[in-house]
Chain A
Amino acid sequence: MIGTVIQISLRRLVHSRAELVLTFVVPIAFFSVFALIFGNGIGSGTMPKVKVVAVDLAATPASGQMITSLRTNEGLRFMASENPDQPLTTRQATRMIRQGVVTIGIIVKQSDGHPMTAELLADASDQVAGQVVAAMVSREMAIGNAKQAAQQQRVVRRPPVESVAPIDPLANTVPIIDVMGKDKTNPVVSMYAAGIAVMFLLFGATGGGGALLEERENTTLDRLLSTQLTMDQLLLGKWFYLSGLGFVQVCVMFLWGQLIFGVDLWGHLDGFVMMTVVTSGAAAAFGLFLATLCKTRGQLNGLSVILVLTMSALGGSMVPRYLMSAKMRELGLWTFNAWALDGYDKVFWRDLPVETLWPQLAVLMGAGVAFLLVARALAIRWEFD
């Protein structure tokens, strides 16, 4: 029975060229446009708070003062380290960046008799944060070094004019070291592939769920339910079909990403498959939930466009979440785009082991099961008058 439901859906898809184009070509076109724009580093937005940690390798009063001053900066959010009692090390900071806990690690150094220097360890997926934090650190470092120089002058009591060393314009430059994507062929594009893929998964699932309403409107559903087919089988058949189609859709998308934009799909196949299976399943359940919630196909179309676009915008499918304020980012966690993208981010960008995907997998699976159960409950009204 379930196989037959899948067969119907597949055959109907094959007969509908418009649906085929919408399923496979339009997402790729959108992805390509987004990848071309954002992959080239164009398109930054307003400056939200950047999550940072500071590693004070200098451990001087001046470096401490500089870090304290940075802590008061409204554009930065200092995150607590794993062990707040111990001074943070460069290694710990690098790990925190790789895990996505912070975006930037500020490393402050000072050799004997030399001015302070700083470098930034950065997650290059946030193309804005590094530049902004570099400017802030550079400014604070210049102030700190100037104060230090003035103090030294007072100690040796030399006439100020002759003793001040010429200002080196490069002295306060803060180098940015990418700890994430330096070995990757085209690291940022995988994020956009995931973002666009999840958005179109949702569109595809809500469109597919609409077939149920179409069947109801033309009384085919009535006829189907007068055969040996049950509502459970019908919904499960449609869910399997939509999940399978979504999975293939995302695979095609990433294959395209690998071929054209150099996304490393084969190197992350296990994590990709786990995330894609769960995300496709959740999106399919969401589509069926919306379909059973609505009374007509028109109602579904309107609602799904609004919901999917809103979820995609909030969840990071359209604009990277690091460009959003902390409040918006928190709001984004109510969308499963955000959870799915966080999962893909861990797989493709942070190279984290698949065990670390459990929160994303659990949330998406939970959402999928919940949507499916609610859809089943809503469909009771169609079973009998």
Chain B
Amino acid sequence: MIQADVPALEITELRKTYGSLEALRGVDFQLHQGERLAFLGPNGAGKTTLIRCLAGRTRPTHGKINVFGLPIESPGVRNALGLVPQDLALYSDLTTRENLTVFARFHGVPRRNLKERVQWALQWTGLTDRAGELVGGFSGGMKRRVNLACGVMHRPQVILLDEPTVGVDPQSRERLFTMLDDLNRQGASILLTTHHLDEAQQRSDRIVILDQGQVIADGTIDQLVNRTVGPSRLVKVRVDRPLTAPVWISGHTGPQHLRQVGAAGQDRFETRIDDVTTDISRLLDAIRNSGYLVSDMEVQAPSLHHVFLHLTGHELRD
């Protein structure tokens, strides 16, 4: 029985080693019921290993995974999970309907519900008119939709998606997320690993960042921004001619907090402002008073991109 106050997924001190390599080094986090959680991390951070542990494809070396309060090894518990793998794990020489049918049966959908579930999946994916066609001939986006549907035929309460939008165009991505939102509205909890940070920011309630086998950040986008790069906006300015000297701007607490921006010989500079309403006008006044005209200006709010790079650094992780 599912209790409302019990997390859909609870991962405690999860470790996985392959020989001398520690892929997971004590991962702890929870996925709440009905929550959409984005699971981020650079390449090799341990995301896929974690998904494989959850899907029962690899045995953790240490730690605990509970699904709705029950150990994942308990009989029938794994049925609450639906895995959508990163690769298109489909039978390309079967039709859409045949793929949906066989995966529904492998997931234990009773024979009496099979037809209704397949019909639902065809409508949900928008592939009713392509039901009898071989999946091998579909576009990447259509295959992704079938791939997603095959993982949720048994109405799982927790959906594990390992980079479900790899290699698809923006329209298809939008469609896939609309499909996921449908499931989420019906109560499914979603754990999504992705490299599309904008996707994670817009389509999730909470973000967990994993690096080198450990959780290094966990919270909403605002919480992560406040804890890392801070809420200040980045302002990029271009003036009508190169500066002869830096521009002096007074701080928001008064002229005693003067600071300089830009450098002699450059016509572009950047600065940070805490309050857009007051600090922008102060910056523009300072530029005008120094004898320059603003040619262009851009204000950037702190994003997950900045948070991610702040936490994981700029080094390649190939």
Residues on A with C-beta less than 8 A from B107 are 227-228
B129 CB to nearest chain A CB (Å): 19
> Does residue A184 face the partner (Cβ distance < 8 Å to B)?
no
A382 CB to nearest chain B CB (Å): 10
* CB–CB B106/A1 < 8 A: yes
Residues on A with C-beta less than 8 A from B93 are 12, 15-16
Interface pick from B49-57, B191-199, B294-302, B305-313: B49-57
User: A220 contacts which of B18, B59, B89, B105 (Cβ < 8 Å)?
Assistant: B89
> Does residue B87 face the partner (Cβ distance < 8 Å to A)?
yes
Residues on B with C-beta less than 8 A from A223 are 83, 85, 89, 103, 150-151
Encoded as 1 (CB less than 8 Å from any A CB) or 0, chain B from 97 to 119 comes to 01000110111100000000000
> Does residue B58 face the partner (Cβ distance < 8 Å to A)?
yes
Asked whether A384 and B106 contact (CB < 8 A) given A220-B90, A220-B91, A228-B79, the answer is no
**Please, which residue of chain B has its CB at the minimum distance from the CB of A226?**
B55
* CB–CB B105/A226 < 8 A: no
Pick from A1, A11, A223 the residue with the most CB of B within 10 Å: A223
> Does residue B235 face the partner (Cβ distance < 8 Å to A)?
no
> Does residue A163 face the partner (Cβ distance < 8 Å to B)?
no
Residues on A with C-beta less than 8 A from B83 are 223, 226
* CB–CB B59/A227 < 8 A: no
* CB–CB A384/B58 < 8 A: yes
> Does residue B284 face the partner (Cβ distance < 8 Å to A)?
no
Docked Cα-Cα span, A385 to B56, in Å, equals 10
* CB–CB B91/A12 < 8 A: yes
* CB–CB A228/B106 < 8 A: yes
Encoded as 1 (CB less than 8 Å from any B CB) or 0, chain A from 193 to 227 comes to 00000000000000000000000001110111111
A223 CB to nearest chain B CB (Å): 4
Asked whether A385 and B58 contact (CB < 8 A) given A12-B91, A223-B83, the answer is yes
* CB–CB B79/A222 < 8 A: no
* CB–CB A15/B134 < 8 A: yes
Contact count band on B: 20 to 34
* CB–CB A219/B87 < 8 A: yes
> Does residue B94 face the partner (Cβ distance < 8 Å to A)?
yes
Residues on A with C-beta less than 8 A from B102 are 4, 7-8
Asked whether A227 and B106 contact (CB < 8 A) given A15-B94, A16-B93, the answer is yes
Docked Cα-Cα span, A227 to B87, in Å, equals 16
Taking CB atoms and an 8 Å cut-off, the chain A residues in 130-145 that contact chain B are none
Encoded as 1 (CB less than 8 Å from any B CB) or 0, chain A from 1 to 40 comes to 1001001100110011000000000000000000000000
> Does residue A229 face the partner (Cβ distance < 8 Å to B)?
yes
Residues on B with C-beta less than 8 A from A225 are 56-57
Residues on A with C-beta less than 8 A from B85 are 219, 222-223
B21 CB to nearest chain A CB (Å): 12
* CB–CB B106/A385 < 8 A: no
* CB–CB B57/A11 < 8 A: no
* CB–CB B87/A4 < 8 A: no
Contact count band on A: 20 to 34
Residues on A with C-beta less than 8 A from B103 are 223, 227
User: B105 contacts which of A4, A16, A385 (Cβ < 8 Å)?
Assistant: A4
User: B106 contacts which of A11, A15, A16, A224 (Cβ < 8 Å)?
Assistant: A224
* CB–CB A226/B108 < 8 A: no
Docked Cα-Cα span, A7 to B102, in Å, equals 8
Asked whether A385 and B57 contact (CB < 8 A) given A11-B98, A229-B106, the answer is yes
B261 CB to nearest chain A CB (Å): 52
* CB–CB A222/B134 < 8 A: no
Pick from A219, A224, A385 the residue with the most CB of B within 10 Å: A385
* CB–CB A218/B89 < 8 A: yes
Pick from B56, B85, B91 the residue with the most CB of A within 10 Å: B91
**Please, which residue of chain A has its CB at the minimum distance from the CB of B81?**
A226
* CB–CB B106/A4 < 8 A: yes
**Please, which residue of chain B has its CB at the minimum distance from the CB of A8?**
B102
Taking CB atoms and an 8 Å cut-off, the chain A residues in 369-385 that contact chain B are 384-385
Encoded as 1 (CB less than 8 Å from any A CB) or 0, chain B from 69 to 87 comes to 0000000000100010101
**Please, which residue of chain A has its CB at the minimum distance from the CB of B136?**
A15
Residues on A with C-beta less than 8 A from B90 are 220
Residues on B with C-beta less than 8 A from A15 are 93-94, 134
Docked Cα-Cα span, A228 to B93, in Å, equals 22
Pick from A4, A8, A15, A227 the residue with the most CB of B within 10 Å: A227
Taking CB atoms and an 8 Å cut-off, the chain A residues in 150-164 that contact chain B are none
Docked Cα-Cα span, A223 to B87, in Å, equals 10
Docked Cα-Cα span, A385 to B59, in Å, equals 7
B57 CB to nearest chain A CB (Å): 6
Docked Cα-Cα span, A367 to B85, in Å, equals 38
* CB–CB A11/B58 < 8 A: no
* CB–CB A384/B59 < 8 A: yes
Docked Cα-Cα span, A11 to B93, in Å, equals 8
Docked Cα-Cα span, A228 to B110, in Å, equals 13
B220 CB to nearest chain A CB (Å): 30
Residues on B with C-beta less than 8 A from A222 are 57, 85, 89
A212 CB to nearest chain B CB (Å): 13
Encoded as 1 (CB less than 8 Å from any A CB) or 0, chain B from 118 to 151 comes to 0000000000000000100000000000000011
**Please, which residue of chain A has its CB at the minimum distance from the CB of B58?**
A385
Docked Cα-Cα span, A16 to B91, in Å, equals 12
* CB–CB B55/A1 < 8 A: no
Docked Cα-Cα span, A270 to B88, in Å, equals 47
Residues on B with C-beta less than 8 A from A4 are 102, 105-106
User: A385 contacts which of B18, B79, B89, B151 (Cβ < 8 Å)?
Assistant: B18
Ranked 9 nearest A-B pairs via Cβ: A223-B89, A227-B106, A385-B58, A226-B55, A219-B87, A220-B89, A4-B105, A15-B93, A219-B89
A contact set with B: CB distance below 8 Å: 1, 4, 7-8, 11-12, 15-16, 218-220, 222-229, 384-385
Task: Sample 23 A-B pairs with CB under 8 A, ordered by A number.
Answer: A1-B105, A4-B106, A7-B102, A8-B91, A12-B94, A15-B93, A15-B94, A15-B134, A16-B93, A218-B87, A218-B88, A223-B83, A223-B85, A223-B103, A223-B150, A224-B106, A225-B57, A226-B57, A227-B103, A227-B107, A227-B108, A229-B106, A384-B57
Contacts A223-B83, A385-B59 aside, 18 further interface pairs with beta carbons under 8 A come to: A4-B106, A7-B102, A8-B94, A11-B98, A12-B94, A15-B93, A15-B134, A220-B89, A220-B91, A222-B85, A222-B89, A223-B85, A223-B150, A224-B106, A226-B56, A226-B83, A227-B108, A228-B106
